[in-house]
Amino acid sequence: MARLFPCGSITGAPKLRAMEILHELETGPRGIYTGAIGHLAPGGDFRFNVAIRTLVARTPEGASEGPFEIGTGSGVVFDSGAGPEYAESWLKLAFLERPLPDFALIETMAWHPGEGYLLLERHMRRLRTSAARLGFACAPERIAAALAERAAGFDAPRRVRLEVSADGRFRLADEALAPTPPRWRIALSDTPVDADNPLLAHKTTRRALYDETLKRMIKTRGCDEVLFVNRDGFATEGSYTNLFVARAGRLLTPPLAHGLLPGTLREALLDSGRAFEAELTLDDVLRAEKVYFGNSVRGLVASDIQSRPAADGA
């Protein structure tokens, strides 16, 4: 382990003399930059990589944003040229000039008279988590104030949609919240989801698979919602809802590792002990005592699964 710090590929050569020169020339510690990051296995094996191209946020305590710091350089050896090495150092920073993500974060909430925004704190916590993990700027205090101002004009149930761009700008839209049907008809998606797609864990505008599949299935199957399955055959979620099944008196929902959104209603049910995570195959869902799809806007909706595609023209 000790030999990992620092790695020879980032000190230059010969290593010991290069480290002495670096100590004389550099004015402060590098932090995680050019250190090692990895994991230790239970048996003692380990795997580490050198941490380069590492952007570190230097956000002051209590502030919502702050400056960033990044290190760059090159490994100098006996035949290195100053010009090429300097150019390489700048080349390693080129990724910082790439465009911001072309998608936005979404939170969709229900507002009811006498109750306000349902599960608001859970929605805001999920938004903050996604913003931090995806590198989005986010100002929760400003968003909360805008939500309160918007709600001041409500006198009936509303569906409110919040979109936050990568640069921190946000917008709100609302519409009347229509009554929820007592039961939903659920079609099976014919396109599997990739459980390894990291964006599935975040609610974003990059959701063409979900929106297009639902639109197509409504037209061809006459359904209300769609059930997706991952490439390993495990049921995951709906296009805008989480999946729940009743089995042996317990309410079960798929684990996040199977590729699905951590819905706020799902989180609330798990935290309260009303629901439990379990791997669910498609057969498990089809044979369940009861099936529900739900989110914070609609609650839990009893549902019927279409086990086979409807015939053309049905």
- Per-residue pLDDT tens for 163-213? 999 999 999 999 999 999 999 999 999 999 999 999 999 999 999 999 999
CATH of the domain at 111: 3.30.470.10
8-state DSSP, 136:
-
Taking only the tens place, the pLDDT of each residue in 231-264 is 999 999 999 999 999 999 999 999 999 999 999 9
The phi and psi torsions of 157 (rounded to 5 degrees) equal -55, 135
Same-domain pairing of 141 and 223: no
Answer yes or no: is 140 within a domain.
yes
Residue 219 in domain: yes
Burial of 228 (0-12, 13-18, 19+ CB in 10 A): buried
Residue 107 confidence class, pLDDT cut points 50, 70, 90: very high
Please tell me the total count of domains within the chain. Answer: 3
301 and 187 part of one domain: yes
Q: What domain range includes position 21? A: 2-97
296 and 229 within one domain: yes
Q: Which distant-in-sequence residues (6+ apart) come within 8 Å of 78 by Cβ?
A: 13
Q: How far apart are CA 4 and CA 40, in angstroms?
A: 13
Q: Is residue 311 part of a domain?
A: no
133 shares a domain with 166: yes
Out of 176, 205, 228, pick the residue that ends a domain.
176
pLDDT band at 115 (very low <50, low <70, confident <90, very high): very high
* Residue-level pLDDT at 194: 96
Q: End of a domain among 97, 119, 146?
A: 97
Q: Does any domain span residue 314?
A: no
Is the domain of 251 the same as that of 154?
no
pLDDT (average), residues 51-80:
79
